[in-house]
Amino acid sequence: MLTAYRFRLYPNEKQQELFSRYFGCSRVVWNKALELRESYYKEHKNDKQKKGLNYYDTARFLRELKQKEEYKWLKEANSQSLQQTLMDLDKAFNAFFKGISKYPKYKKKTNKQSFRVPQFFNFTDNLLYLPKMGKGIRMEIHREFPRGKVKQLTVTKTPTGKYFVSLVVDDRKETPQKVQITNDPDKSIGIDMGLKDFAILSNGIKISNPKFLQKSEKLLKRRQKQLSRKQKDSKNRAKARISLAKIYERITNQRNDFIHKVSTAITKRFDTIVVETLNIKGMKKNHNLAKAISNVSWSRFFEFIKYKAEKQGKNIIEIGMFEKSSKTCSVCGHVNKGLTLKEREWTCTDCNTLLDRDINAAINIRNFGLNQIGLKSIPSDRGEFKPVENSLTAELAKMKIKARSTSHDPEKQELYAMKKLKLLIGAGSP
């Protein structure tokens, strides 16, 4: 089984200069190969007998490029790293033609920089040795990994100037067998995604949306305004750009940390997880909701849920996006065709049950998923489904779990409440 690890690097000044050369070489090779493929397509797009260029064509082009006087400095970089750049470009084009990613873009010096090293690297204590790099690069190993089984590594530099190395390790462990799917409500869960609440679980728990972007929006506007006032290509503009990039980096780290905690807690607690297939790309076309949808990172959450479930042998069931999960009564199956988006709770006209719209949808998602594989869902003994408090801190108070944080700041109280997320997901609402 392949596992990815990411560690922080602390190169000295000379090593930073070597990294800059590697980054520059990889960036130039990417841009030149992309330009070649684009020009070839424009020239032969009407000729049906001629196909587009592939990796081998760009590899021959790279060999010729190195022979030119003005590009001889490309030989300073590891040749395999440049070949990996061409492979990555070829994969990017193949993914674009399959419709699973966007068209490859030209790389800029101010964006994230990276290069890959497929082999001839080594680790000694807390040092990383790379081809043509000389001395070892200091590496902060915060968790152990099987060093002799690293398949390849990628060195990256963030827009804020931090260096990281990502390792792909083959631990030679077989993928665990899937656990048996049962209709036990304590072992299966349905998840309905939202904007006001990040996720609503079929056991009645609502995980609040932390809204990291909105909390930093005023500071972002201020930094963007400061950046726009700086003179182009000046040192002050470069400092302002890094200051702005740090805010975006912090938001990204907060969001990833939150999604990791939620996805880990869910996959450890439940054997079967049912989610709804969402057309996120289409939903973003609604300009009133596009920012909010991007901020909650549904795609990344689903990605984390899937790979963590696979590593633990848990089951993921996906249902169609057109299932009437919100409009169907989870108790008797009556469909409320007149339900509008503004109605957050409604009473079923057939069984007179008061339903919370989101919890009802999560229960139906679980039911639809189990029915899809031929299992009849067993209703949980929660009784009447009433609205649940949105705040995690309020949920903890209901469960008589004290948030022992000494701060009176609501945001810090909420962060402490997140540490008790496993208890929340496991216990449900009283």
Active-site residues: which are they? 192, 276, 358
* Cα-based distances in Å from 213 to 247, 297, 304, 306: 10, 11, 20, 25
Token readout for 314 is 């848990």
Q: Phi and psi of 60, rounded to 5°?
A: -65, -40
Rounded to an integer, what distance in angstroms lies between the CA atom of residue 421 and that of residue 427?
A: 10
Q: What DSSP state is assigned to residue 71?
A: G
Rounded to an integer, what distance in angstroms lies between the CA atom of residue 392 and that of residue 418?
A: 7
Residue of 38, 249, 34, 21 lying closest to 113 (CA atoms): 21
Q: Phi and psi of 342, rounded to 5°?
A: -75, -25
* Cα-based distances in Å from 73 to 214, 241, 424: 45, 29, 58
Q: To the nearest 10°, the Cα dihedral for 215, 218, 223, 229?
A: 160
Rounded to an integer, what distance in angstroms lies between the CA atom of residue 354 and that of residue 320?
A: 26
Please list, residue by residue across 265-292, b when 16 or more beta carbons sit within 10 angstroms of its beta carbon and e when fewer do.
Answer: bbbebbbbbbbbeeeeeeeeeeeeeeeb
Token readout for 149 is 């089984």
CA gyration radius, the chain:
26
Token readout for 1 is 């089984």
- Cβ(236)–Cβ(300) below 8 Å: no
In what order do the strands lie in the sheet containing 272-276? 206-208, 197-201, 188-193, 272-276, 315-319
- Cβ(312)–Cβ(268) below 8 Å: yes
- Pair type for strands 137-140 and 197-201: unpaired
